[in-house]
Structures are given as C-alpha cells and as structure tokens.
Structure 1
Amino acid sequence: MLNFKIYGTASNPKYGVLFHIYGLIFIILSSGIGTILPILLKNKSFFSVKSPLFNSLKMFGTGVIVTVAFVHMLSPADKMLSGDDAPEFFRENYDAFSGVFAVTGIIVAHGIQLLLKEFFKNQNKNHIHNEHNEYTSKTNIIVHNGSNSTESDSLLSSSGTVSYNYNTYSNNKDDYDEVNHEGCGHEALLLVSHKQMVSYLLEIGISLHSVLIGFAFGTNFDDDINYLLIALMIHQFFEGIALSTIFIEAKFKNMIAPILMVIFYSITMPLGGVGGLLIYSINSSNTTIMTSIQGILDSIAAGLLIYDSLVNILSHYTSSKHWDETGKYSKIVQIFSFYLGCVCMALIGIWA
C-alpha cells in the first residue's frame, strides 16, 4: 500500500511529496521554456546560441550543475552509504561506494554517447556513399568550348575545363551543410533526413539519463533537495535549448516533430521523479533500503551530471571553433560566469 507523506516526514517535515509535485511542475516548465525559447528567438541576435549573453548564462548554469553534483549530491550520498542506516556491506566491507556509483554514472553517460556516435558515424558513411553515387549520376557535366554551353546556370571555367552544376541535385540549398568548394564538396553533404534521425537519437540519449536523474529527485527527501531542484531546472533548461537547436537545424517540414520533442523532453525527468516517489512510498518504512536506494541513485545521478556538464557542455564548448573565434573579453566574462556559478552553489552549501 502506498504511504505518501504529503507535507514531509518525521525527520524532515519541510520537503514532502507536495514539494516534489511542485518541483516536478517547475521542471516541466523549465524544460518546456528551454526547448521553446530557441524556436521563438531563433531570429533574435541578442539571444542566439552564439551571443555572449546566451553563452554566459550557459556557463553560469554549468558551474551550478557541477557544484551541485559534487557538493549537494555526491557528498551526502557518501554519508548515506557509509552511515549507520546503510547496509553492513556498504559500511564495513567497502566505504567508497558513492565514488564507485558516481563513476558508474559517468561510464553510462559516456557509453550512451559512444554508441550514438558510432551509430551516427556508420549511418553517415552509408549516406555519403549513397548520396555521392546518386549525386554524381545527377550532376550535369558541361564542357565549355568557346562560347557554346548547354545550360545557362552551369558553373563554367574560363579555360575550357569540365565544370559541375551542383544546383541540379536539389532545389533547396538548405538541405545540405556548407559545401567545400575545393574539390571535396560531396563529402560535406548531409541530408536533412539524416539530421532528423540524429535529432531523434540525441533525444533518446538525453531522455535516458533524465529519467534516472528524475528517480534520484523522487527518492530524495533531504534538506539539500531545494538546491538539487534548482540545479535540475537549470540543467533541463540549457539541455532543452541544446536539443531544440538540433531540431531547428534538422529543418522538419511540419511542426509535429518539434512539438512532440518539446512534450517528450519536458515529461521524461518528471516521469522518473514520479517513479522515484512510488519507490519511496513503498519502502519508506524500511530505512536501510531507502538509504541505499537514495545513496545509489544520488551517486549515479551525480556522475551523470558531472560528465554531462564538464564533457558535453564545458569541454565541448571551450574546444569549439566558435570559442576560438570569440573575443578575449567575452571569453573572460564567460569563464568568470562559470566560476561564479561554482562559487555561488558552494556558498549555498553552507546553509544546505
């Protein structure tokens, strides 16, 4: 029988199921806003994905996520898995299980990313091979001989050499990425349908770890949960922005796919949170089981957040071409924003 504590527990009357319900609603809102904003503001320069304002906010949010993972999730999880309420195996046989489960979360996140990357790589090779064959067969070859030419829109050289009319393959130049005009253009072709497939795969990967983090939120009834909620809202907001920009680039012909993306992404973490609440309601009377579940999930979720923030956001962004082309002062502001996010959440830990 389900045993929900609506307004809190005996040990912690502040954060009961009602707080979690409100928290899940806020997570849905932050996820939805994050995915909708790029669609609404895609033509506004001040909030584009390359603007200093956007990237400074992203860096601040990344700092918040990193610190929450270490200070507000991993550290309490270590205390839970090594405290008096933990199973004897955790307390006496091995006292570093929180680190083990955090590494497990990192491995899971990295494994998902590698699988998706390999799948993308193989599909990309097949697309390049097939599209190059079809592309070659459909390309107009025009020999420029004096003033005679077969088509007025052909790309003709002044020396009477062979030229190719790339425009005959597709009437929509946006169907492809920018083409290298130095002889390897066909290798840069990427069909819109291929980008759409990548969009779906990316959403699946993001949703998997969102559900797991949601489980950790649903089973967490500690005082730190309010700061965890803030971090998860920031996490969902910026990850939603990243996912939405991928869908925008995929150029779906209708709005059904982006709308479904917004809905699906917005509810994945809350669904995990509901699952966590159900687990808590069933096992709340068994302190040992709940301590183990919460400690394990918090550790794994911390690993996921650490990997996602440091590798997929911070490292990926600071090693990108856009970062290299960013001005010195803009870089300083953005790096300072990251440090500020770390410091703010570390200081908040004093009162957690």
Structure 2
Amino acid sequence: MSTLCSQLQKKMKTLFLAVMALFPAVIMAECTCEADEEDRNKSLALKYKLAAIASILVASAIGVCLPVLGKAVPALNPDRSFFFIVKAFAAGVILSTGFIHVLPDAFDNLTSPCISVTPWGDFPFAGFIAMVSAIGTLMVDTYATSYYSRRSVGKAVAQVGNEEEGVVPVHAHATHGHAHGSLPASGETELLRHRVISQVLELGIIVHSVIIGIALGASESPKTIQPLIAALTFHQFFEGIGLGGCIAQAKFKSRAVAIMGLFFSLTTPVGIAIGIGISNIYSETSPTALIVEGCFNSASAGILIYMALVDLLAADFMSPKLQGSGKLQLGANVSLLLGAGAMSLLAKWA
C-alpha cells in the first residue's frame, strides 16, 4: 500500500511539474495578436450596428436637448435646484467614463503584447498622456477665460469712450480690486466661463466618442456589439445631459446651440459608420490601431476627469446656492454617487 502511494505521489509530482512547464506556453498561446475568428457574423453584426446608430443618435439628441430646452421643462431650468441634481448625476457619469471606461482601455492598448516593448513597455505612457492632457485642459481653460475677459473689457472701454466722445472715464484701483465703468460684471465673467467649459468638455467627449464608434463599427461579433448598444445608449444620454447643462448655462445663440448639439449627437453614429466602412481593413490588434487608440483614449480620459472634477463638480458644489442648502447638498451628493456607480456598473458589459 505504501509503495502504491509512493508511486502515485511520484506520478502526481511529475504531472504537476509537466503542467508548470507547459503553463508559460499556454499563456503565450493565449496572447496572440490575431483577431478572434469565433462568433463572427457580418450580416447579423451589421443589423446590430444599424440599431446602435439609431439608438445612440436618439439618446444623444434627447440628452443634450433636455437642459437646453429648460424653458419648456421648468424643472430643468439652470436656475432650479433640480437642475443641480441632474447635473451632478451627469458629472458622475462623465467622471466614471474617464476613470472606469476610457483610461483602463488606454492602459490595455498601450501595454498590449502586440506592440513593441520599446518604448511602450518602458514607461506608463497612458497615465502620462492623461496627466499632460489634464494640464493642457487647465491651460486652455485659463487662457481662454482670460482672453475672453480681456476682450470684454476692451469692448466695454471702447463703448464708454464712444459714448463720452473719446474720453474714457476709466479709473482703475489695483488696491481696490475693481475698475469703474470697464470691467465686466461677475455675471458676464461667469457666462464666459461657462462658454469655455462647454466647448472644452465637448472636445473631450467627441474624442472618445469617435474612438468608441469606430471600434463598435469595425467589430463583426454580435456578442460584442449587443451589450454595447444598451451601455452606449445610456452613456450618451447622460453624457448629453451633462454637456447640455453646460451649453444651457453658457447661453449661446440658437445657431451655436444647434451646432454643438448636432456635433455631439452625430459623433458616435458617424464613428460607427466609419468603422463599418473600414471593417475589412481594420484590425483591432494591429500595432498602429492600438497605439493611436491608446493615445487618444489617454488624452480623452485626462480631459474628462479634469472637466468632471474641476468645471462641473467643484464649480457647482462650491456655489453659494448649493452651500446654502443642506438638503440640496445631500441630493447632489447622492445623485453624484448614483451617476458614478451606474456608469461603473456598465463596465461589466462594456
């Protein structure tokens, strides 16, 4: 009996060593850069893609238009408390999009075994590009606001000068922190700020929306596309509410509002259409595609994270209206957690 046990132990040991020896080979076999040929069905995938275009287009348009049409829906007027609740939810969605969806994808792209180790494996480029993108967004935010403010001051000075027949009664007091008759009112400065925020935010959203659309459109796997339809529809709807809220606060002219809303609504569907067009030549595992997607995703993540934290959440949560109401603070915090949590949950499927 003891001899039998001893032989069995030897055989188990030999088997264990053999499995351990083969394990690296199994791992290497799984890390291939060939596109997965299973679950491909071009005709069915195309039907899902067309459904995705329609669904995402409608959801994006409704989401971005709801805050803009605040006059027709009084509860969504930027001056109402409920608007802060909805905007906090949308900011949570945007923040989660940057941290949970876009940035991890960027790390996956730029650390893929399908691209060369040098230089991509020698340095965390995804995090670096996201950081540089966030800093760049801060600089654009600052300089754009400063530029518009100076231009507004110049116009005010010129207008006063014309009214006074060339005499400009501007008496600036640096120590007092104000200038008579020339500096824009705080309301005008705030309006300029909202305009810069809305434009920069739309830029960040458009970048990652195009990448998502192309990836979905180029896929030929119905199992991959199907869960993405619901996830992206939800994502675009609430991202649209966040952007629409910024556009509504910026008080653009009707033409500018229509152009910004149209750009946002069409970005992902156009990306899907581009993906469908290049699906025969596009390979999601090619080094060029991985590097380009990784860099764009990293940059987009940095923009979205900065905008969500600084321009959407910090600006609203530190505003006098929110600071003066404990009930509104609680509602905004709960709404923020729900938005971030719901979007994070979608990472399970997309």
TM-score by length of 2: 0.67
How many angstroms apart in 1 are the aligned matches of 2:120 and 2:256?
49
> Between the two proteins, what is the percent identity of the paired residues?
19
Q: Over aligned residues, Cα RMSD in angstroms?
A: 4.1
Distance 1:51 1:264, change over 3 A: same
Contact 1:63–1:340 under 8 Å retained in 2: yes
Q: Does 1:78 align with 2:107?
A: yes
Match of 1:29 in 2: 58
Contact 1:59–1:337 under 8 Å retained in 2: yes
Indicate the structure (1 or 2) with the bigger Cα radius of gyration: 2
The structure where helix makes up a greater share of residues is 2
The letter for the 2-side match of 1:233 is: F
Q: Does 1:239 align with 2:243?
A: yes
How many angstroms apart in 1 are the aligned matches of 2:191 and 2:183?
19
**Which one of 147, 150, 172 corresponds to residue 119 of structure 1?**
147
**Which one of 338, 341, 344 corresponds to residue 346 of structure 1?**
344
Number of aligned residues: 295
Cα displacement (A) at 1:126: 0.5
Q: Does 1:10 align with 2:5?
A: no
- For residues 186-214 of structure 1, give each alpha carbon's deviation from its aligned partner in whole angstroms, at most 9, with x where no partner exists: 6446999x999999876654543343223
- For residues 226-253 of structure 1, give each alpha carbon's deviation from its aligned partner in whole angstroms, at most 9, with x where no partner exists: 5455334322232023213423xx5x5x
Match of 1:62 in 2: 91
Cα displacement (A) at 1:299: 1.9
How many angstroms apart in 2 are the aligned matches of 1:211 and 1:104?
18
Q: Does 1:93 align with 2:93?
A: no
- For residues 99-138 of structure 1, give each alpha carbon's deviation from its aligned partner in whole angstroms, at most 9, with x where no partner exists: 1222233234333323321320221120121123245569
How many angstroms apart in 2 are the aligned matches of 1:295 and 1:189?
43
How many angstroms apart in 2 are the aligned matches of 1:51 and 1:76?
37
How many angstroms apart in 2 are the aligned matches of 1:44 and 1:304?
30
How many angstroms apart in 1 are the aligned matches of 2:192 and 2:88?
28
Distance 1:82 1:197, change over 3 A: closer
TM-score by length of 1: 0.67
Show structure 1 runs of 5+ residues with no match.
1-7, 139-181
- Helix, strand or coil: the match of 2:127? helix
Contact 2:63–2:240 under 8 Å retained in 1: yes
Contact 2:98–2:301 under 8 Å retained in 1: yes
Deviates more, 1:223-232 or 1:297-306: 223-232
Match of 1:220 in 2: 215
Match of 1:313 in 2: 312
Show structure 2 runs of 5+ residues with no match.
1-34, 167-177, 217-223
Distance 1:128 1:274, change over 3 A: farther
Q: How does 1:214-293 map to 2 (within 5 A)?
A: 214-221=209-216, 225=228, 227=231, 230-247=234-251, 252=253, 256=255, 258-268=257-267, 270-271=269-270, 274=273, 282-284=281-283, 287-293=286-292
- For residues 61-89 of structure 1, give each alpha carbon's deviation from its aligned partner in whole angstroms, at most 9, with x where no partner exists: 22222123212221232123213223322
Distance 1:76 1:16, change over 3 A: farther
How many angstroms apart in 2 are the aligned matches of 1:278 and 1:101?
29
Contact 2:56–2:269 under 8 Å retained in 1: yes
Contact 2:194–2:246 under 8 Å retained in 1: no
Match of 2:135 in 1: 107
Contact 1:101–1:299 under 8 Å retained in 2: yes
Q: Does 1:330 align with 2:328?
A: yes
